[in-house]
């Protein structure tokens, strides 16, 4: 195994570097037959469950905030002490059928469970290591076998998470392993444990939908290929995610909790936590609401991806009650609106100010995040004939008319009582994809960094944690090269109107008090940058990412005098603002 030059830095920081997390893209994609079910399925259940679930984020009376499955590293628990917790791991509340029922109620189409996480503990029967749930715990059952049966009965696919590089139980797996010896032999670990266990997973449980690798870190291409070869040999239909490392795999797993701001090509997924941890943590009750889950699912699907939402059952095998309740609530929405999600393709329309769009055949599904107060939902730029439009769940057809700006759907004044209203619009022909951008006066319009045209500046991404492992992501425009640089957004205004302008940015101290200009047509707003301070982070993360935080400031009012095309341009007026990071510019329509 190659030693990375930053390995020591990573170890100092709990092993967390972007490379370690392994969110690079992939060079290859699943052939269409192998990936077809995945492309259609859209929504999945991720399950993190292991010895750490019984600790629940607590060790020796102290609570560790952040991702619970890292407690062995976070609390500095020696491998032998951690291993001893297996003697009391007895998840008598585990009921495979109940988990599968939850996934079905939630509208999820496949399940991926941690077969072995970084702690090295196998949650299945294995002859390759005694450190497993059947041999080392009083439970003695193989939950993966029970889950495989329950999934088969219910017609759900099942995949297995396997931590191939990190194994904190094995002296031969050195990454992040304070117990590993200096003469650690990764080859011995890979061939003595990882590969044999992958073989067991592929031969003991029937068809395996996918193997979900993680944190490839310094694994070599040959090592990744050895894993891939074993899988292809035993189950050619089994998918492999990109975290196998080295740019291989069938589909791309984006960064944890990363939701792209625009279309993303190829086969891919976003994995997400329901609260701020994957493995169960007593202290974490920060559940995303059902509406939030649905919004995240819809955004991912409309950009072409799958959304895999995690549950973290506790040490007894019970899914936290609030998590299950909320996921079921989102599932009721899916039961009524599933046709707008499953087996759809991404939106052919450019960024829609009021929401998102998915498509199947000639039907567009409009997911209305902002219900228009004036009852007019605009599909700007769409000139196709409409064969019919209905609110999903209601039988009444909606009236549609077209004008110079595109289609206008007439909605009831009061939105239906559903988590997220969806309108199905059948158009007479399929629409060519467009990247056009529109600003509408009956909703809030957000211009994102990723949509800017940059001159003398560049687009980049930023990821950070607030507790530990709870990743947040942002795209920004930065590296401004002085007064000649600019970021610009061109859009069509469908009607005249006035808008308040909010600018969301991070301003490190170096850029404090630099001055900026925002022009729109003939109007110019100038403003000074205000230092935004730093992201709140726990002390242990700070030295790695002392990041300036984002804040939103209102900078003025614009009048858009007439319908037409406009360009909004942001540029520095002096050379001091180079470090500014622009995230969004929002146009809020005024009431008048
Ligand atoms: O380190 C792991 C983490 O514990 C969790 O399993 C997530 C899920 O995507 N993957 C790694 C970090 O990306």
pLDDT digits (tens, 9 = 90+) for 491-512: 999 999 999 999 999 998 888 9
What is the C-alpha to C-alpha distance for residues 209 and 92, in angstroms, rounded to an integer?
27
Predicted confidence (pLDDT) at residue 26 exceeds the cutoff of 80: no
Judge if the beta carbon of residue 310 lies within 6 A of ligand 1. no
Check residue 402 and give its pLDDT.
92
Instruction: Please report which confidence band the pLDDT of residue 2 belongs to, taking 50, 70 and 90 as the band edges.
Output: very low
Q: Model confidence at 30, in pLDDT bands (50, 70, 90)?
A: low
CA separation (Å) from 353 to 203, 204, 362? 49, 49, 22
The backbone region for 61, taken as left when phi is positive above 0, alpha when psi lies in -120 to 50, beta otherwise, is left
Q: Is 215 near ligand 1, meaning CB less than 6 Å away? A: yes
pLDDT at 144 over 90: yes
Atom of ligand 1 at shortest range from CA of 70: 4
* Ligand 1: centre distance to CA 306 (Å): 17
pLDDT at 592: 60
- C-alpha–C-alpha distance, residues 96 and 135, integer Å: 20
Cα–Cα distance measured from residue 431 to residue 373, given in angstroms and rounded to the nearest whole number: 27
State yes or no: pLDDT of 32 exceeds 80: no
Distance CA(333)–CA(522), nearest Å, equals 46
Query: How many other CB atoms sit within 10 Å of the CB of residue 190?
Result: 23
Question: Which of helix, strand or coil describes residue 201?
Answer: helix
Q: For 93, which DSSP code?
A: T
Among 60-64, 129-133, 347-351, 409-413, the range scoring the smallest mean pLDDT is 347-351
Residue 511: phi and psi, rounded to 5, are -100, 0
Determine the pLDDT at residue 179: 85
183: left (phi over 0), alpha (psi -120 to 50) or beta: alpha
Q: What is the mean pLDDT of the chain?
A: 92
Q: Ligand 1 in contact with 272 (CB < 6 A)?
A: no
DSSP string, 337-388: HGGGTTT-EE-SS--BTTEEEEEETTEEEEEESS--TTSEEEEET--S-EEE
For ligand 1, the distance from its centroid to the CA atom of residue 299, given in whole angstroms, is 22
Q: How far apart are CA 454 and CA 217, in angstroms?
A: 33
Q: What are phi and psi of 263, to 5 degrees?
A: -50, 140
Per DSSP, 241 falls in state: B
Which of 18, 214, 272 to mutate to test ligand 1, by most ligand atoms within 8 A of the CB atom?
214
> Hey, how many other C-beta atoms are within 10 angstroms of the C-beta on 63?
12
581-589 and 445-448: which strand pairing? antiparallel
Residues contacting 269, CB < 8 A, separation 6+: 44, 241, 251, 252, 253, 254, 300, 305, 306, 307, 308
**Average pLDDT for residues 556-562, to the nearest whole number?**
95
Q: Give the closest residue (by CA) to ligand 1 atom 9.
A: 256
Ligand 1 mean position to 313 CA, how many Å? 16
pLDDT at 10: 35
In short, whether 69's Cβ falls inside 6 Å of ligand 1 is yes
Mean pLDDT of 123-131: 98
Q: How far apart are CA 185 and CA 187, in angstroms?
A: 5
Does the reported pTM lie above 0.75?
A: yes
Model confidence at 547: pLDDT above 80: no
Q: Whose CA is nearest to atom 7 of ligand 1?
A: 256
pLDDT at 31 over 90: no
Do the beta carbons of residue 123 and residue 147 sit within 8 Å? no
> Tell me: the pLDDT tens digits for 427-472?
998 888 888 899 999 999 999 999 999 999 999 998 888 888 999 8
3-state secondary structure of 130: coil
Higher-pLDDT residue of 549, 293: 293
Angle at 546 between CA 542 and CA 552, to 5 degrees: 125
Please indicate whether residue 15 or residue 569 has the higher confidence score (pLDDT). Answer: 569
Give the model's confidence band at 234: pLDDT under 50 very low, under 70 low, under 90 confident, else very high.
Answer: very high
Confidence label for 93 from pLDDT (cuts 50, 70 and 90): very high
pLDDT band at 38 (very low <50, low <70, confident <90, very high): very high
Measured distance CA(419)–CA(253) in Å, rounded:
27
Q: 470 in ligand 1 pocket by Cβ < 6 Å? A: no
């Amino acid at each position: 195994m190659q030693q990375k030059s930053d390995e020591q830095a990573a170890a100092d920081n709990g092993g967390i570097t972007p490379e370690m997390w392994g969110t690079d893209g992939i060079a290859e994609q699943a052939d269409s037959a192998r990936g077809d079910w995945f492309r259609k399925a859209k929504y999945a259940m991720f399950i993190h469950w292991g010895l750490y679930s019984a600790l629940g984020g607590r060790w020796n009376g102290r609570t560790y905030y952040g991702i619970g499955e890292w407690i062995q590293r976070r609390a500095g628990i020696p491998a032998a002490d951690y291993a001893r917790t297996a003697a009391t791991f007895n998840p008598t509340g585990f009921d495979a059928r109940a988990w599968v029922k939850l996934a079905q109620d939630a509208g999820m189409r496949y399940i991926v469970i941690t077969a072995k996480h970084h702690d090295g503990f196998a949650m299945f029967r294995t002859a390759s290591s005694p450190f497993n749930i059947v041999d080392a715990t009083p439970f003695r059952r193989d939950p993966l076998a029970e889950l495989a049966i329950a999934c088969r009965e219910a017609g759900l696919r099942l995949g297995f998470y396997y931590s191939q590089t990190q194994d904190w139980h094995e002296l031969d797996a050195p990454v992040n392993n304070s117990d590993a010896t200096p003469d650690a032999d990764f080859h011995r670990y890979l061939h003595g444990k990882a590969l044999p266990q992958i073989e067991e997973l592929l031969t003991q449980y029937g068809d395996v939908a996918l193997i979900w690798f993680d944190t490839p870190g310094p694994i070599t291409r040959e090592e990744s290929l050895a894993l891939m070869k074993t899988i292809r040999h035993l189950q050619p239909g089994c998918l492999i995610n990109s975290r196998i490392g080295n740019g291989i795999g069938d589909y791309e797993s984006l960064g944890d909790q990363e939701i792209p701001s625009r279309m993303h090509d190829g086969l891919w997924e976003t994995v997400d936590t329901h609260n701020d941890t994957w493995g169960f943590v007593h202290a974490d009750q920060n559940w995303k609401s059902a509406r939030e889950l649905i919004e995240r699912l819809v955004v991912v699907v409309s950009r072409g991806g799958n959304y895999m939402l995690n549950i973290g059952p506790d040490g007894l095998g019970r899914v936290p009650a609030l998590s299950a309740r909320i996921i079921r609530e989102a599932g009721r929405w899916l039961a009524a609106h599933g046709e707008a999600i499953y087996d759809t393709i991404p939106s052919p329309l450019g960024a829609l100010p009021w929401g998102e769009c998915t498509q199947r055949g000639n039907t567009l599904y409009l997911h209305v995040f902002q219900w228009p107060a004036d009852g007019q939902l605009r599909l700007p730029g769409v000139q196709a004939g409409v064969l019919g439009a209905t609110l999903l769940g209601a039988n009444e057809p909606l009236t549609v008319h077209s004008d110079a700006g595109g289609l206008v759907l007439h909605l009831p004044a009061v939105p239906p009582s559903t988590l997220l209203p969806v309108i199905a619009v059948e158009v007479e022909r399929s629409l060519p994809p467009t990247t056009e951008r529109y600003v509408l006066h009956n909703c809030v319009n957000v211009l994102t960094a990723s949509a800017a045209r940059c001159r003398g500046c560049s687009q980049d991404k930023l990821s950070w944690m607030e507790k530990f492992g709870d990743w947040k992501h942002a795209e920004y425009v930065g590296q401004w090269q002085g007064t000649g640089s600019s970021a610009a957004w061109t859009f069509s205004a469908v009607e005249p109107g006035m808008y308040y302008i909010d600018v969301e940015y991070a301003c490190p101290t170096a850029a404090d008090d630099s001055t900026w200009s925002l022009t729109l047509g003939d109007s110019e707003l100038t403003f000074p940058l205000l230092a935004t301070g730093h992201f709140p982070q726990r002390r242990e993360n700070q030295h790695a990412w002392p990041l300036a935080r984002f804040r939103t400031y209102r900078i003025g009012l614009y009048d858009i005098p007439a319908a037409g095309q406009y360009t909004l341009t942001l540029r520095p007026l002096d050379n001091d603002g180079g470090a500014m990071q622009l995230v969004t510019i929002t146009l809020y329509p005024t009431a008048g």
